[in-house]
Structure 1
Amino acid sequence: MAIKKNELYSSLWASCDELRGGMDASQYKDYVLTLLFMKYVSDKYRGDPYGMIVVPQGASFDDMIALKGDKEIGDKINKIISALAEENDLKGVIDVADFNDEEKIGKGKEMVDRLTKLIGTFEGLDMSSNRADGDDLLGDAYEYLMRHFATESGKSKGQFYTPSEVSRILAKVIGITSDTAQDASVYDPTCGSGSLLLKANDEAPRGLSIYGQEMDNATSALARMNMILHDNATAKIVQGNTLSSPEWKDANGKLKTFDFAVANPPFSNKNWTSGLNPHEDEFGRFVWGIPPEKNGDYTFLLHIIKSLKSTGKGAVILPHGVLFRGNAESRIRENLIKQGYIKGIIGLPANLFYGTGIPACIIVIDKDDAQARKGLFMVDASKGFMKEGNKNRLRSQDIHKIVDVFTKYLELPGFSRVVPLAEIVSNDYNLNIPRYIDSSEPEDQHDLSAHLQGGIPNRDIDAMDNYWQVFASLRATLFTGDRAGYSKSLVAANNVKSTILNHHEFKAFAGQSLEPFTAWSESAALKSIAIGDKPKQLIHDISEALLNRYAGRPLLSKYDIYQILMDYWAEVMQDDVYVLAQDGWPAGKVLRELVARKGEKLKETSDLTINKIKYKAELIPPALIVQRYFAAEQAQLDVLQAKLDNATQELDSFIEENSAEDGGLADALNDKDKVTKVSVTARLKLAADPEERAALKQVQKLFDAETRGKKAVKDAQDALDLAVFKHYPSLNEADIKALIVDDKWLAILCERIEAEIERITQQLANRVKQLDERYAEPLPAITQSVEQLSNKVAGHLKAMGLAL
């Protein structure tokens, strides 16, 4: 059975628990990722004489498993890794972590136990069969781990990873298309762990020739492993300082040029001149100006421009300051704009990156027809993100919107526009985005006349015209004319939402808003998923189709609807589709028995327990089986549960009423001041007072009733669980498809879209209510009310003899 993505991720992240404490995340990532690599290549290439990686005798993960409990486990793991590295020219790549380091892993038994458990975590993962064609399951897991390592590493150690969401934007805006030739090249001079290069490569159907350079030795090793895990073993990644010693040169000693380039260089590098004299640069990278000695932000941008072919395209992440800082940077910026190299700028939200919280931007370079360029395309995407822990993170809809707008040159108010070169020149070549795009929210202004005389300003009501375009008569239901330029509310503030929900125009809108979803669900052909399908291609196709279905729909944002599908894909559908693409629809019948490893407690939550054996449903939760096939039994169980709840409530109420100091159950309290069945039975043998005995007998009856209720519920639940358990094997393919697609996927998606429709209504209701309450009492009425209350207080004070 295929491993689900989220299960694989959680298992790998749990493996880090074995190493936490001895070192920080920037260090233990090397151990975990090395074992992930060893397990993957062992499962995939063991016994394959034509594989990209040769696994020699005695150098596989199986050989590590044999070391569990061995007193020399650390040293022997190092030798196994070294043997694999030697055979495959991976010295200095996979043997960076020292598994025999007592300071980090512990001494003696502590090291043996820790490494034994760490190997055990990977042992149960069969990675040989967990690659749906075209989907880098292990590569994605590697990226998942690195994102979490970057999060845990903190500011000083997060530079090895660029958030995948940002990487996707760079990859999609540099002009790679389905027609891009296989021999086209992509380059990253500060490649880190290689995520930017891989995302760019993903955009080319036939792949690209990958080149990268990374200064940090351990990080360049991560990149090499990352390339192999993503089936790009031929990628050329080297370690070294790109500025002082660039690796990639042509036969004449000049910088090699590439078709595409992507980069996320270190921000504001103060040591960029180390080993380099920019005034005598042999590669001519600084002909447009030399960056400040203590700020190298422009250095890598200039290096990339020089490293691109005459039609080359690139994208670089830099801090916002490069757009507007003066002096040397201002001269470089002016020269680059005059050359026409800068195609566009995308402003990003703050706090996206590991290692810094400052906002950044993407500068898109395009040498093709640079001299003919008459302006720049600017995007202010700083407002679109979600919070995740202490970082901000771009959502799927934010990425899609940015890419759509940039690649299609769509001008959206407050978000994007083409800025003519003349306008930039008039601003002294300052590219600060707020100078050209106003993305601020309009201020909600109060109307002084309305506060003085009452009424709701018509201009505020007119501002909701996007609603009135859809609900033509709803405005007349909610408002009526008052005086010139003002209206009054016809509906009490607390009844506004219900009035909107019950209005015939809203009901029509709600129904019409679900029509695209219904049409999409039929055309998506989700029941046609077959073994060998590509999950990533599937989600791309169906998400684009849903986005297009909702394009141009009033009030609803197609990107919000798109996000609903992408969120559910990440939560549930992705795992389900990966299983179906590898094991087919019969996987829906599978109930996996959960077995704890020796000496460990079972952590995974079970779906069913039959005869004390715990089972986990692979694709179809038992609740869906019950809903479709055992509704009557569930209804009967609900009745029994309601009776039990009533019995428990009656028991609790009786105990509460009679447990006071003078109550009949006061002497039946146990050491913990609780009345229990045992304490009542014990007290009944001693009690002589008739009232106390009556209370004790009554509570005893209530305890018995609750016990019978609990037994009835348990028996009914056990019977239902057994019936469900026995029903799984009888499911045919049509049943399974209906349960997964109709009852599970589409039902949840429909509920969430309905919630989005209601959210739109809530926004309207909130605004109407806000305006009604804001101007409900004009100032004269408030003044009169205050005067009346003041007189009333003065009268009371006078009556009390306290008048002044």
Structure 2
Amino acid sequence: MNKHQLASTIWESANQMRSKIEANEYKDFILGFIFYKYLSECELNLFQKEKLSEDEIKKVDEKDVKYAKHVRETLGYFIAYDNLFSTWLVKGNDFDVKDVRDALSDFDQNIDEVYKKVFEKIFNTLQTGLSKLGETSGSQTKAVKKLLKLIKKIPMDGKQDYDVLGFIYEYLISNFAANAGKKAGEFYTPHEVSVLMSEIVAEHLKDRKQIKIYDPTSGSGSLLINIGRSAAKYISGDGKIDYYAQELKENTFNLTRMNLVMRGIKPANINVRNGDTLEDDWPFFEENKKETTYELVRVDAVVSNPPYSQKWDPKDKEFDPRYKDFGVAPKAKADFAFLLHDLYHLEDDGIMTIVLPHGVLFRGGEEAKIRENLIEKNRIDAIIGLPENIFFGTNIATIIMVLKKNRPTSDVLIIDASKGFIKATKNNKLRACDIKKIVDAVKNRSAIEKYSVLVSKETIRENEYNLNIPRYVDSTDDPEKWDIRATMFGGIPVSEVDEFDDYWDAFPGLREALFKEASQGYLQPRTEDINGTIDSFESVEAYRVAFIEAFDGFYETLQEDLVDGVLDVVADKEKEKITEDIFRRIDPIKLADRYAAYQVFAEYWEIISADIEMLQTEGFEVITQVDPNMVIKKNNKNDDDDEVTEVQDGWKGHILPFELVQEMLMPDEVEAIQVLEERLSEIAGEYTEIIDSLDEDEKQGSFLNDSNDAFVSKELKATCDEILQGVESEEINALNKYMTMPKKEQLAFIKTCMDADWDKIEKNKDGSCKKPSLTSRIQQLKMEYEFPEDSYEGKLLSALRLSDEESATKKDLKQKREALHIKTKETIEGLSEKEALQIVEQKWIEPLICNLKMLSSNIVFEVISSMEYIAKKYATTFHELQTEKISTKSCLIDMVNMLKAERVADAEGLQEFNAILGGQL
């Protein structure tokens, strides 16, 4: 399975295994063990690289002082063989949670002095929290063994660019954050926000050969890592990025370090500290030597998502060099304190992005003064308003502020991106197209109607340095207009039709085909079939053709670049190349939205890039590999012990999807299965028809379930047996007679009796009939008896026949599916390179291009919807509504007058009701 599937499987298991433990706490266990496995694997790789035999590896321990020292100097730490993750697995039933405690304790004693900042006390959270996994040593051991078994499947072979481990680690962090409530904000910035900030920063730094990046509130470290990954696209060589990170909470600080180390970042490039960013101006100083070792470190990029509106101690901070030029944030809200700390450590040509609550843009007091200084000193480059409810643990509105020290312009780009998102479970989520649009707007400093605007310093001064986004960007939808005359008398105002000028420009002649003049300034539809008229209109058809022609040659380009050159594709560069090609093709097309096209591409690129990654790192031969399809099975033994196991459910292609292979290479088998599936669907409908035809008394039988919407097979058969009990025919009577005869007379009876078709009954060796075959034949003859179709008996027998057919069809369907499944496995494994690549083409390219071309249909559908709405908007006039109202009231009065009151109170009620309606009694 690819890394997406593996991560999903591990998360599903882990989430079930955590049972009643809070997600925020359980993450520390599983992530800690993943990291320990990673360190163990790194050490084993070193042993193998140095040609140690299996027996020699088993002897590695602290007693071999020289070799232990060598390992510490090479890796930064040393783990004895008995303490390795793989050794724990080998112990099986002999494993005990004490093994973990001893190993983690030993780990801290075997860290090289140079690497202490990276590894010291990194397992503290895991070590102190083991007791939460169970009340007894036995229950803790059992819980840890489950975790080890789950984690062992994560590959950590360090293949170049195949960042499975890092992907799974962040995937788990993200999912734990989604389930951790308010605690989530302490350790995780949503991946999409992280990518957005990364792309903005990377664009600014793309011409640099070596950089320093810093996150002063690092959380899990994912934000810092994503920035580094995006920047690394433009930097060649290893060790060219220095990472600085500070985090206040110890358990979260440990996540930062683990995450950085597991991404293959060299310890020499990792500078981390567990401390209070606002109290201690770091980077940089050595612990316990602050006064003598402090050295101001400026970096190329600072990124941060600090805690929102946190309280802090601003006492004497006016003298702090971080704040003295701009002001001190108020005690109740430290947002600007974090921002100014970040800014202070920025190089003159650097860039910083920070996530802040929306209130920093307009709050008064000390914050207003800080805003004024930031504007006047020309530090704020852009403000990006994000959608609400996009961060885990809070639904407040947030922004990203982009700041630089040396800016060639004094205006501020303000973007309202609050409406660009998709609803994902409990939170909103930025789509790929939303991120791309924001990044492009920042990169090009674009002014886009109802989205972004460049605001001059003078305008901001006029607004008293209030940067509230709605003051500058009006992203609200225009209120709907209603023409009073058209409401009264009908007709469509010409002015409202004029508002769709983009449509009329894209589809010449369509306006005239849809509308004709009704009176001065008003139009009326020429046709009631708006949909059909637009859909078949000449210029609309021409538009569709032009849209398709815009992608001429695109298939061949993708085939050459992605398929023919699959092993040489550089994914990030290829993505940019394809994006620019799509934009070049789609931009000239009227009404087309480049970002809608980008979203289509981005969704398919996730599939394409994942496959390319596997083919390049695992070897091209995996293109015809078939893997066991493992699924999670939960066995509920009791409330306190939920066993989660993984079992095989068939097979699946490592790269090639079974369904696609079947569709392309086994159409006859697929069609045969579809025929059976359709028949089962028809049978379900026929069941319903029979049930609906029964009257209420007939439905009281036990052959229907409690809700009277399905037959109960066993009871249906029993009822039908009773119905068929008295059914007779000459052949049935003959067969029954045969069954009552002495055996010596049966053979003669077969020869002389012409009423039965004896050839349809299975015989014994002596020529006599087998009893099961006789019974089956009698039942068959009874079932063939024709009751009147509309009779109770006829309906139930029809249902029983359907039941028998359904059982046979399901059996046949299961056999055909199983046979097709095995044939597909064998077919994939036997494909030639050329055949396999043809299937890859259909997986990657065909659906991408098809969905890009489908965008024209979406545009036409939007036009149809708009025109149908405007045609209906004034179709019913106020006069017609009033007439209908009067008519309805008159009908009600007549109905009330027909009522006879038996009590005085009822008569008074009817009289009042009539008076309200305006009638008379």
Query: What is residue 171 of structure 2 aligned with on the other side?
Result: 144
What per-residue deviation string (whole Å, max 9, x for no partner) do you get for residues 270-292 of structure 1?
A: 1244xx631443x3532322221
Which structure 2 residues correspond to residues 316-465 of structure 1 after superposition, within 5 A?
316-369=354-407, 373-465=409-501
Query: What is residue 589 of structure 1 aligned with on the other side?
Result: 624
Q: Does 1:119 align with 2:154?
A: no
CA distance in 2, matches of 1:604, 1:125: 17
Query: What is residue 79 of structure 2 aligned with on the other side?
Result: 56
Summarize the Cα distance change of 1:19–1:481 in structure 2 as closer, same or farther, 3 Å threshold.
same
Summarize the Cα distance change of 1:47–1:589 in structure 2 as closer, same or farther, 3 Å threshold.
closer
Contact 1:376–1:420, Cα closer than 8 Å, also in 2: yes
Summarize the Cα distance change of 1:333–1:252 in structure 2 as closer, same or farther, 3 Å threshold.
farther
Q: Which moved more, 1:42-51 or 1:504-513?
A: 42-51
Query: What is residue 342 of structure 2 aligned with on the other side?
Result: 304
Which structure 2 residues correspond to residues 722-733 of structure 1 after superposition, within 5 A?
722-733=822-833
Summarize the Cα distance change of 1:468–1:221 in structure 2 as closer, same or farther, 3 Å threshold.
same
Q: 1:244 aligns with which of 261, 268, 279?
A: 279
- The one-letter code of the counterpart of 2:463 is N
Summarize the Cα distance change of 1:459–1:125 in structure 2 as closer, same or farther, 3 Å threshold.
same
Q: What is the alpha-carbon root mean square deviation over aligned residues? A: 3.4
Contact 1:75–1:99, Cα closer than 8 Å, also in 2: no
CA distance in 2, matches of 1:605, 1:485: 71
What per-residue deviation string (whole Å, max 9, x for no partner) do you get for residues 174-225 of structure 1?
A: 4655654343212222222222322222214334221121111111111111
Query: What is residue 80 of structure 1 aligned with on the other side?
Result: 103
TM-aligned CA deviation for residue 352 of structure 1: 1.8
Q: Which moved more, 1:678-687 or 1:103-112?
A: 678-687
What per-residue deviation string (whole Å, max 9, x for no partner) do you get for residues 147-174 of structure 1?
A: 1222211114422111222222323334
Query: What is residue 866 of structure 2 aligned with on the other side?
Result: 767
What per-residue deviation string (whole Å, max 9, x for no partner) do you get for residues 496-530 of structure 1?
A: 22332222322222232233445333222221353
Summarize the Cα distance change of 1:497–1:97 in structure 2 as closer, same or farther, 3 Å threshold.
same
CA distance in 1, matches of 2:393, 2:472: 29
What per-residue deviation string (whole Å, max 9, x for no partner) do you get for residues 621-668 of structure 1?
A: 3332332222234334444555565566556655765697569x9687
Q: Does 1:101 align with 2:130?
A: yes
What per-residue deviation string (whole Å, max 9, x for no partner) do you get for residues 201-260 of structure 1?
A: 221433422112111111111111111111213311111112222232488846322222
Query: What is residue 298 of structure 2 aligned with on the other side?
Result: 257
What per-residue deviation string (whole Å, max 9, x for no partner) do you get for residues 459-508 of structure 1?
A: 2111111111111111122111211221101222xx32233222232222
Query: What is residue 32 of structure 2 aligned with on the other side?
Result: 34
TM-aligned CA deviation for residue 380 of structure 1: 1.5
Number of residue equivalences: 782
What per-residue deviation string (whole Å, max 9, x for no partner) do you get for residues 384-440 of structure 1?
A: 111222222211111111111111111111111211111111111111121111111
Summarize the Cα distance change of 1:619–1:78 in structure 2 as closer, same or farther, 3 Å threshold.
same
Contact 1:669–1:679, Cα closer than 8 Å, also in 2: no
CA distance in 1, matches of 2:380, 2:688: 74
Q: 2:93 aligns with which of 42, 48, 69?
A: 69
- The one-letter code of the counterpart of 2:254 is A
Which structure 2 residues correspond to residues 612-651 of structure 1 after superposition, within 5 A?
614-642=650-678, 646=682
CA distance in 2, matches of 1:642, 1:750: 30
Which structure 2 residues correspond to residues 646-725 of structure 1 after superposition, within 5 A?
646=682, 653=689, 657=693, 661=697, 674-676=712-714, 678-679=717-718, 682-683=721-722, 686-687=725-726, 701-725=801-825
CA distance in 2, matches of 1:696, 1:780: 57
Q: 2:254 aligns with which of 210, 221, 225?
A: 221
Identity of aligned residues (%): 27
What per-residue deviation string (whole Å, max 9, x for no partner) do you get for residues 738-780 of structure 1?
A: 21222x2333324433543322222222221221112112223
CA distance in 2, matches of 1:174, 1:523: 31
TM-aligned CA deviation for residue 454 of structure 1: 1.2
Contact 1:75–1:100, Cα closer than 8 Å, also in 2: no
SS of the residue 1:491 aligns to:
coil
Summarize the Cα distance change of 1:648–1:462 in structure 2 as closer, same or farther, 3 Å threshold.
closer
What per-residue deviation string (whole Å, max 9, x for no partner) do you get for residues 316-367 of structure 1?
A: 2221211111121111111221111222222222222233322122222211
- The one-letter code of the counterpart of 1:759 is N
- The one-letter code of the counterpart of 1:261 is V
- The one-letter code of the counterpart of 2:612 is V
Which structure has the bigger radius of gyration? 2
Contact 1:42–1:60, Cα closer than 8 Å, also in 2: yes
Query: What is residue 65 of structure 2 aligned with on the other side?
Result: none
TM-aligned CA deviation for residue 101 of structure 1: 3.1
- The one-letter code of the counterpart of 1:79 is D
Q: Does 1:741 align with 2:776?
A: no
SS of the residue 1:193 aligns to:
coil
Contact 2:486–2:877, Cα closer than 8 Å, also in 1: yes
Q: Does 1:484 align with 2:520?
A: yes
Query: What is residue 189 of structure 1 aligned with on the other side?
Result: 216
- The one-letter code of the counterpart of 1:235 is I
CA distance in 1, matches of 2:893, 2:77: 97
- The one-letter code of the counterpart of 2:383 is I
Unaligned runs of 5+ in 2: 50-73, 286-291, 636-642, 729-784, 901-918
Q: Does 1:507 align with 2:531?
A: no
CA distance in 1, matches of 2:897, 2:129: 90
- The one-letter code of the counterpart of 1:14 is E
Q: Does 1:277 align with 2:316?
A: yes
Contact 2:300–2:346, Cα closer than 8 Å, also in 1: yes
TM-aligned CA deviation for residue 601 of structure 1: 8.2
Summarize the Cα distance change of 1:764–1:680 in structure 2 as closer, same or farther, 3 Å threshold.
same
Q: Which moved more, 1:517-526 or 1:32-41?
A: 517-526
CA distance in 2, matches of 1:189, 1:6: 30
SS of the residue 1:481 aligns to:
strand
SS of the residue 1:616 aligns to:
strand
SS of the residue 2:383 aligns to:
strand
CA distance in 1, matches of 2:388, 2:798: 66
CA distance in 2, matches of 1:707, 1:657: 23
CA distance in 2, matches of 1:715, 1:47: 47
Contact 1:450–1:778, Cα closer than 8 Å, also in 2: yes
Contact 2:717–2:800, Cα closer than 8 Å, also in 1: no
User: Given the two structures, how large is their TM-score scaled by the length of structure 1?
Assistant: 0.88
CA distance in 1, matches of 2:429, 2:798: 60
- The one-letter code of the counterpart of 1:335 is N
Query: What is residue 164 of structure 1 aligned with on the other side?
Result: 191
CA distance in 1, matches of 2:469, 2:531: 39
CA distance in 1, matches of 2:222, 2:630: 37
Unaligned runs of 5+ in 1: 607-613
TM-aligned CA deviation for residue 670 of structure 1: 10
Q: Which moved more, 1:134-143 or 1:709-718?
A: 709-718
CA distance in 2, matches of 1:779, 1:684: 65
Contact 2:630–2:648, Cα closer than 8 Å, also in 1: no
Summarize the Cα distance change of 1:714–1:33 in structure 2 as closer, same or farther, 3 Å threshold.
closer
SS of the residue 1:480 aligns to:
strand
TM-aligned CA deviation for residue 267 of structure 1: 1.3
Summarize the Cα distance change of 1:505–1:685 in structure 2 as closer, same or farther, 3 Å threshold.
closer
